[in-house]
Amino acid sequence: GYFLTGPKKDGNIRDYATVEQLVVLASLESQNALLIEQQKSQGERLTILNTLAIKQMRALIDNPSVKQLKGGALLE
Enclosing domain of residue 38: 2-75
Q: Is the pLDDT of residue 23 over 50?
A: yes
pLDDT at 50: 97
Helix ranges (DSSP H) in 1-76? 2-5, 19-37, 42-61, 64-71
Looking at the 3D structure of the chain, how many domains does it have?
Answer: 1
Q: How large is the average pLDDT for residues 6-22?
A: 72
Alpha-carbon gap, residue 31 to 37, rounded angstroms: 10
Per-residue pLDDT tens digits for 55-71:
999 998 887 777 676 66
pTM reported for the whole predicted model: 0.68
Of residues 75 and 21, the one with the higher pLDDT is: 21
Q: What is the CA radius of gyration of the chain?
A: 14
